[in-house]
Structure 1
Amino acid sequence: MSESIAAVEAILPVSRETADRLSRYVALLKRWQPAQNLISPKTLDQIWSRHIADSAQLVALFPGALRWLDIGSGGGLPGMVTAILLAERGDGVVHCVESNQRKCAFLRTAIRETGARAVVHEGRIESVLKQWAEPVDFISARALASLDDLLDLSAPVLAQGAAAAFHKGEDFDVELAEASKSWSLDLVRHKSMIDERSSIVEIRRAERRSA
Structure 2
Amino acid sequence: MSAVEHSVPTPDVARRVFGDHVDRAEEFVDFLVNRGVVRGVIGPREIDRLWGRHVLNSAVLSERIPDAARVIDVGSGGGFPGIPLAIARPDVDVVLLEPMARRIDWLHEVVDRLELSNVTVVRGRAEEKAARKEVGTADVVTARAVAPLGKLARWCLPLVRRDGELLALKGESAGEEIERDAQQIRSAGGFDPVVVRCGEGALERPTTVVRIHKRVRVDQSQGQFRRKCP
Contact 1:143–1:168, Cα closer than 8 Å, also in 2: yes
Rounded Cα–Cα distance in structure 2 between residues aligned with 1:13 and 1:102:
28
Higher fraction of helix: 1
Following TM superposition, by how much is the alpha carbon of 1:172 offset from its aligned partner in structure 2, in angstroms? 1.3
Counterpart of 1:130 (choices 129, 132, 135) is 132
Contact 2:123–2:131, Cα closer than 8 Å, also in 1: no
| CA-atom RMSD in angstroms | 2.4
Partner SS state of residue 170, structure 1: coil
Mapping of 1:7-156 within 5 angstroms?
7-10=13-16, 12=17, 14-15=19-20, 18-64=21-67, 66-87=69-90, 91-116=91-116, 117-127=118-128, 128-132=130-134, 134-156=136-158
Contact 1:138–1:163, Cα closer than 8 Å, also in 2: yes
Rounded Cα–Cα distance in structure 2 between residues aligned with 1:148 and 1:191:
20
Partner SS state of residue 37, structure 1: coil
Contact 2:169–2:210, Cα closer than 8 Å, also in 1: yes
Q: 4+ residue stretches of structure 1 with deviation over 4 A?
A: 195-198
Which position in structure 2 is the counterpart of 1:6?
12
Q: Which has the larger radius of gyration?
A: 2
Following TM superposition, by how much is the alpha carbon of 1:191 offset from its aligned partner in structure 2, in angstroms? 2.1
Partner SS state of residue 153, structure 2: helix
Rounded Cα–Cα distance in structure 1 between residues aligned with 2:109 and 2:143:
21
Which position in structure 1 is the counterpart of 2:213?
204
Q: TM-score, normalised by structure 2?
A: 0.77
Following TM superposition, by how much is the alpha carbon of 1:52 offset from its aligned partner in structure 2, in angstroms? 1.0
Higher fraction of strand: 2
Structure 2: any 5+ residue segments left out of the alignment? Answer: 1-7, 217-230
Which position in structure 1 is the counterpart of 2:219?
none
Question: What are the superposed Cα offsets for residues 68-99 of structure 1, whole Å, 9 maximum, x if unpaired?
Answer: 10000000011011112233xxx331000011
User: Number of residues paired by the alignment?
Assistant: 200
Contact 2:167–2:212, Cα closer than 8 Å, also in 1: yes
Residue type of the partner of 2:47? Answer: L
Residue type of the partner of 1:134? Answer: G
Structure 1: any 5+ residue segments left out of the alignment? Answer: none
